[in-house]
Chains A and B, each alone.
Chain A
Amino acid sequence: MTIKTDVLVIGAGGAGARAAIEAAMNDPKLSIVILNQGPIGKSGLTSMANGGMQWVSHPDDSPCALFEDIIQIGCYLNDQNLVEAVVKEGPARAEELIRWGAKMLPHKGGGGGSPDTPPGKPSYPRGHYIPGVTYMAALRNELERHPNVIALEDVIATKLLTAGKRVIGAFVLNIRTGEYVVIEAKATVLAAGGLGELYPHSTNAPFGMHGHAAGMGYAMAYYAGAELIDMEMVQFTGNQLYPPWLLGNPALLSSMCGGKYVNALGKEFLKLPQPRDALQRLAYKEIKEGRGTERGGVYIDLTLSPLPSEEIEKQLKLSLAEEIAKERWKLIKAMSVNDPDPKNWRVEFTPGGAHFFMGGVRINERCETNLEGLFAAGEVSGGLHGANRMGGNAMVEIIVFGARAGRSAAEYAKRIDRVESKEAPEGEYERLCGFFKSRGTAPKIIMDKIATFMAEYVGVARTEADLTKALSEIESLRADGLPNLRAPQGRRFNLGWVEAIQVPYMLDVAEMIVRAALFRTESRGAHYREDYPETRSDWLKHTRIIKNRGFMDLTAVPVVVTQFKEEEKR
């Protein structure tokens, strides 16, 4: 079947939902279709986010200071037009979200101070805390209020439809029935989220759960001809290894509960505050030099916390949003291998858990891409965070740029005529059904192989030799793995089929990360090259990938600087 709409939004996390709301408010006569791979507000990365958000609220703090801190943390690779937008609009968008019913919890997420202020700079309490589930519940409620929005849940877009350099909608698989839908749209907003599942450890997919983060959005945009920037910039964070059920964000165990970063020999190896990239490298070094645990981790040691047991427990509950996660808290307290007193806990974590992706589709401050009719917002877009995302900025980014993308898409849809797709959808559907074979390799096996080489060769520390090995792994999986890729039988709600569909996109995105990482012959923020450990001023550029006759074309392009130059660093 075909649905014709004015605005199509792909993805209903924070950015997509906010975009659909904005387009709906822009003009009640516009029709909007929003897609989500699971139930809206009960799947995707926003709803699983711990919810730290930052904006200026302390009297001594200023938007200018926040602007500079974001850029300094981002190692000057941020597009400053985008940083301006997030600093300026963040507070108003957050207030609006709270007005719509999102629940802000009283604590400050980062334990009073902003967790990653640049070294040597004053630290202001900027953190605010809106757990992802209540954030999404508010957006979902708001979506419902607009009769011109149609939301489709349990659907997955597999291809952007194009007419020349213009995007005119998407091919969509209905996971519930296994049938396809063609959506023809005047304007398309891509808000498909991140790619944590390319790595074996990811906060996007805790303990092997699926988090909707296979990176299909990047690949779809690339196939359609979009520019992607800084694809080497993967933000890693500590990923919990033990105990084997989630205690929440390991960073909060330290910043809120006073836990110390300790190696297997019991020695504290770093002191806070540290930018996230530096923290990862320090933990990685401990393990590489043989001071890691048997599971390949290091500890956050609560036994060394200066806080008393009751206070640790109180902070831990806050960091988990215990009033929502009641079952989780019961579980944590009940598991027999745990001493119920958190003062006796040492939580084991590994560095290199994929947490966030700074790179993505290149946008301007209106969320326009290089393709007509395609807008992007949220994690799938690149440029705001530069080489390192400051904690608390993603949850602000998605509502600020979601709203901007929605407005731009609505304005565009009002002034343009619809183009009907000339592509026959049967071809794409046949391709998807081609995964139903009687024999072959299960998608999980290939996904695990991708994750294994990404962690080994494209992790916290990179070298030319390792990255080259990753490229040959990709080539061999393409040659031997993909032709045998096989989905489980049955079209109805077959998530194994969805996994099989995702695998080729994941391989292409992996290749983009590897090629961009090879291309950037310096170290900057989250991208650390052991063979090029210095940051070079001549590399203060985005790496840009665009499809050229079927090849990944890599060039360096300038960063957007509006007011803050690297020399002005204080």
Chain B
Amino acid sequence: MSNEPVLLKVFRYDPSIDRAPAYKSYQVPWRDGLLLLAALKHIRDNIDETLAFRDYCCGCSWCMSCLMMVDGKGMQTCSRPLQPGESLLVEPMRGFPVIKDLAVDFGMTITTPEGIFRKMEGTVIRKEK
């Protein structure tokens, strides 16, 4: 089996600074058992420390905090294995406001219909603006 690196094209956007989102490509060395979320961590730890995503999670496909769009499809990145030489487009989960890069605000709608969550997810802080 070849050990070619994985190529990830990643959505980058800081709404407080950037006028528009941009995409940045990163090469991650492949290893046995490499999962997409671990590859993003590799980028943050070794290549680009400013990449933002939610890495607090169960690592076991339970909690859904690692949901992202991968090649246009929503999935749990903690359980997405990577093949050597694979090339993927990684974007924030669709339908949620982007906080920065791949980190979104899940608060409003993820488990219940819109409206019920009005008191959750830091709205108090937002109202001050």
Instruction: Give A residues with C-beta under 8 Å from B.
Output: 1, 3, 37-44, 47-48, 131-133, 137, 140-141, 143-144, 147, 149-155, 174, 176-177, 179, 181, 206-212, 243-246, 248, 320-321, 324-328, 330-331, 334-335, 337, 442, 444, 488-490, 492-496
Contacts and interface: CB of A to CB of B under 8 A. Distances in A.
B74 to A, nearest CB: 11
Contact of A331 (B41, B58, B79): B79
Contacts of B2: none
Nearest to A331: B79
Interface string B29-51: 00011010110010011000110
Interface residues of B, number: 51
A245 B111 contact: no
B56 A38 contact: yes
Contact of B99 (A3, A152, A334, A492): A492
Interface in B70-129: 75-76, 78-81, 99-101, 103, 105-107, 110-112, 116-117, 119-122, 124-125, 128
A89 B12 CA distance: 49
Contact of A245 (B14, B33, B63, B125): B33
A493 B62 contact: no
A141 B52 CA distance: 28
Interface in B4-60: 14, 16-17, 32-33, 35, 37-38, 41, 44-45, 49-50, 52, 54-60
A39 B60 contact: no
Contacts of B100: 492-493
6 contacts: A39-B65, A48-B59, A132-B58, A153-B122, A327-B80, A331-B80
A211 B54 CA distance: 11
B117 A325 contact: no
Nearest to A181: B125
Contacts of B59: 48, 206-207, 209, 246
Contacts, number: 166
Interface of B: 14, 16-17, 32-33, 35, 37-38, 41, 44-45, 49-50, 52, 54-65, 75-76, 78-81, 99-101, 103, 105-107, 110-112, 116-117, 119-122, 124-125, 128
A48 B122 contact: no
B119 A42 contact: no
Nearest to A145: B116
B76 A210 contact: no
Nearest to A176: B99
Given A152-B124, A208-B41, A320-B60, A330 B65 contact: no
A335 B56 contact: no
A493 B52 contact: yes
A245 to B, nearest CB: 6
Nearest to B57: A209
Contact of A496 (B44, B75, B103): B44
Per DSSP, chain A at the interface is loop
Nearest to A334: B81
B109 to A, nearest CB: 12
Contacts of B41: 208-209
Contact of B122 (A144, A155, A209, A494): A155
A455 to B, nearest CB: 19
A468 to B, nearest CB: 32
Contacts of A327: 61, 75-76, 79-80
Given A140-B111, A151-B119, A209-B37, A328 B60 contact: yes
A486 to B, nearest CB: 10
B128 to A, nearest CB: 6
B62 A131 contact: yes
A133 B62 contact: yes
Contacts of B80: 327, 331
B65 A490 contact: no
A331 B38 contact: no
Nearest to A147: B119
Contact of B60 (A38, A48, A137, A337): A48
A144 B112 contact: yes
A208 B38 contact: yes
Point out which of A37, A490, A492, A494 has the most chain B C-beta atoms below 10 A from its C-beta: A492
Contact of A209 (B49, B78, B101, B128): B78
Contacts of A140: 111
Contact of B62 (A48, A244, A444, A489): A48
B106 A150 contact: no
Contacts of A210: 55-57
A43 B59 CA distance: 10
A42 B50 contact: no
A96 to B, nearest CB: 20
A63 to B, nearest CB: 32
B55 A492 contact: no
A343 B35 CA distance: 25
Nearest to B16: A492
A137 B111 contact: yes
A41 to B, nearest CB: 7
